[in-house]
Structure formats: structure tokens, C-alpha cells
């Protein structure tokens, strides 16, 4: 069993899963809305996989892309991965809230991206300062917002599987960051009214579920690692939980790991993407 896990490798392994998941209708609407010489800001950008996606699809041409993340390892990796791209990509290790304090009222961006990020935040409190970073009439592209379904197949025990899913989602809802509640296991559905409440107009929305399964040759790319990391994250989140029998949960984790090794595990996570606009 693995004991050391790398978040950087997880983000890298997640890229092919995200490539399949991103909602194509919302993506096209975003690409059409992008002005020439767009100023793009991505928050919680990780190791820069969205920058790579923009480059591959020709959306970086003429654009200036600023990507920030608060983990130095992520930004170091992003610099290595993106060194072949033009110099119009700016990467910075900085906490989002320090970045907002520094930039608010000074600069705005045509497109703000948050990918697999907003569901970690206190969204109603975070949207107004985020929107203040967008040029009036500019756009936001908020993708892979988790929305309340973690599905594993095959079933181990229907009652235990459901209980673990519910307790895991509760850890997201009860997460405390810097002394404040932040996180929402149903952020996708809640964003419809939260975005409007903050003054945003939703132009496109659609599901972006992760669907991971082994093909004849096994899991694609590094997706077995992606699955191992997900199971490890659940183990960390629920270890010692009073609602779960220790031995029973350990056995459940072991069985899920064995299913990955055999190529049997299917994992589906329900998520929603949004494109929207702030008022002029």
C-alpha cells in the first residue's frame, strides 16, 4: 500500500480526467466570449494544467495569462511545465485573499477562471471580491464545481457505501480554513443562485462529471494514481470518525485499493461548470 502521496502528481494525473469532464458547451461559450488580447486571471491554478489546455486550443495567442496559487510546489511545477510557452504567462505563489487585497481597485481581467477551486471556499463571501477583479462586462469561467455525488462501483456494501459517501461530503461542508467554515459539497447547484445574488449573469452551465474507468489496457495515463489519491483523501478525511467502525472502514479502503489494482473500480463525481458575465 502506498504511504507517500504527492499533490503535484495528483494534479498532473487529474488533467486527463478533467479533459474528458469539462463541459464542451460551456467551454465553447467561454472561447467565443474571449476578447482578442484577453487578460486572463486564474486563481488556485495548481500546476498550470488549464494554461496548457488554453495553449493547446489556441486560446493563449495574444492573451496575457496570470495564474496564482498559494502552494510554492505547485507554482514551481507550473514554471517547469509552462517554460516552453510564451512570456505572456505570469505565475505567482500568493494566497488568493492577499492577491485580492493587493489588486482590488488597481487592475481588472477580462476572464476570471477558477477550476476545481470554488468548492473549497466560502462561496457567498468570496464571490463579491472575486467579481471586483473582473472588468465590467467581463466573464467568469468557474469549472469542476463539486455537486453532491461520489459514486464508486462495484458496490461493496450498499449501506456502508452510502454512509461513507454522506460522511465524506459532510467533512467538506464542515471544513474550517483560517478559522472560518469554507467548502460546500453541493456547490454546483448552489452556485446558480449564489452567482446571481453576487450580481453575475449565467450565460452557460452544464455538468462536468469525472468518469474514471479502466479500459482493456487498464486506466488511461496516470489515472490509477488519481484514483489512489481520491481513496487516500477519503481515508484521511474519515480516519477515526466516530460514525464508522475502524476495522470496517479500513477494510472498505483496502477493498477499494484492490479494485484499483485489478482495474475494477469505477469512480464518478458529479460536478457543474459555469460561464457568466458581470454587469457593465
Ligand X SMILES: C[S@@+](CC[C@H](N)C(=O)[O-])C[C@H]1O[C@@H](n2cnc3c(N)ncnc32)[C@H](O)[C@@H]1O
**Strands 176-177 vs 180-181: parallel, antiparallel or unpaired:** antiparallel
- 115 touching ligand X, by CB under 6 A: yes
- 44 touching ligand X, by CB under 6 A: yes
| DSSP-derived 3-state class of residue 158 | helix
Please state, in angstroms and rounded to a whole number, the distance separating the CA atoms of residues 133 and 126: 12
- Output the nine-digit C-alpha cell for 231: 481513496
Any idea which residue has 483560517 for its cell?
A: 178
Please state, in angstroms and rounded to a whole number, the distance separating the CA atoms of residues 62 and 233: 39
Closest CB to ligand X among residues 32, 95: 95
Closest CB to ligand X among residues 49, 163: 49
Please state, in angstroms and rounded to a whole number, the distance separating the CA atoms of residues 210 and 141: 18
- 49 touching ligand X, by CB under 6 A: yes
From 45-53, 211-219, 232-240, 259-267, span contacting ligand X (CB under 6 A): 45-53
From 66-74, 153-161, 229-237, 251-259, span contacting ligand X (CB under 6 A): 66-74
- On the question of a cis peptide bond just before residue 137, with omega within 30 degrees of 0, the verdict is no
- 69 touching ligand X, by CB under 6 A: yes
- 116 touching ligand X, by CB under 6 A: yes
* Torsion of the alpha carbons at 19, 71, 180 and 236, rounded to the nearest 10: 70
In 3D space, the residue among 98, 79, 210, 69 whose CA is nearest the CA of residue 147 turns out to be 210
- 95 touching ligand X, by CB under 6 A: yes
- Output the nine-digit C-alpha cell for 162: 452510502
- 71 touching ligand X, by CB under 6 A: yes
Closest CB to ligand X among residues 41, 161: 41
- 78 touching ligand X, by CB under 6 A: no
CB of residue 55 vs ligand X: minimum separation in angstroms? 15
Q: Which of 40, 45, 59, 205 is close enough to bind ligand X by CB under 6 A?
A: 45
Closest CB to ligand X among residues 71, 235: 71
CB of residue 4 vs ligand X: minimum separation in angstroms? 18
In 3D space, the residue among 276, 279, 278 whose CA is nearest the CA of residue 191 turns out to be 276
Q: Determine how many CB atoms are found less than 10 A away from the CB of residue 79.
A: 13
Cβ contact 19:91 at 8 Å: no
- 117 touching ligand X, by CB under 6 A: yes
CB of residue 140 vs ligand X: minimum separation in angstroms? 14
The DSSP 8-state label assigned to residue 202 in this structure reads E
- 70 touching ligand X, by CB under 6 A: yes
Closest CB to ligand X among residues 117, 225: 117
Closest CB to ligand X among residues 141, 252: 141
Interface positions with ligand X (CB under 6 A): 11, 14, 44-46, 49, 69-71, 74, 95-96, 115-117, 120
Amino acid at each position: 500500500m502506498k504511504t507517500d502521496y504527492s499533490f503535484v502528481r495528483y494534479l498532473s494525473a487529474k488533467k486527463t480526467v478533467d479533459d474528458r469532464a469539462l463541459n464542451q458547451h460551456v467551454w465553447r461559450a467561454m472561447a467565443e466570449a474571449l476578447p482578442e488580447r484577453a487578460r486572463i486571471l486564474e486563481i488556485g491554478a495548481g500546476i498550470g494544467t488549464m494554461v496548457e489546455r488554453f495553449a493547446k486550443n489556441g486560446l493563449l495567442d495574444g492573451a496575457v495569462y496570470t495564474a496564482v496559487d498559494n502552494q510554492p510546489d505547485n507554482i514551481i511545477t507550473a514554471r517547469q511545465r509552462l517554460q516552453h510557452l510564451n512570456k505572456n504567462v505570469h505565475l505567482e505563489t500568493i494566497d488568493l485573499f492577499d492577491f485580492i487585497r493587493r489588486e482590488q481597485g488597481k487592475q481588472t481581467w477580462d476572464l476570471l477562471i477558477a477550476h476545481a477551486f470554488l468548492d473549497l471556499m466560502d462561496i457567498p463571501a468570496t464571490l463579491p471580491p472575486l467579481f471586483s477583479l473582473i472588468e465590467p462586462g467581463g466573464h467568469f469561467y468557474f469549472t469542476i464545481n463539486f455537486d453532491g455525488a461520489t459514486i464508486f462501483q462495484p458496490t461493496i456494501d450498499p449501506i456502508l457505501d452510502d454512509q461513507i459517501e454522506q460522511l465524506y461530503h459532510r467533512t467538506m461542508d464542515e471544513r474550517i480554513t483560517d478559522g472560518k467554515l469554507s467548502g460546500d459539497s453541493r456547490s454546483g447547484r448552489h452556485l446558480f443562485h449564489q452567482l446571481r445574488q453576487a450580481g453575475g449573469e449565467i450565460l452557460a452551465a452544464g455538468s462536468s462529471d469525472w468518469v474514471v474507468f479502466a479500459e482493456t489496457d487498464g486506466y488511461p495515463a496516470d489515472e490509477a494514481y488519481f484514483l489512489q489519491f481520491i481513496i487516500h483523501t477519503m481515508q484521511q478525511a474519515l480516519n477515526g470518525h466516530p460514525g464508522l467502525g475502524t476495522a470496517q472502514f479500513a477494510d472498505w479502503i483496502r477493498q477499494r485499493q484492490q479494485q484499483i489494482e485489478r482495474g475494477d473500480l469505477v469512480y464518478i463525481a458529479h460536478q457543474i461548470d459555469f460561464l457568466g458575465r458581470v454587469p457593465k
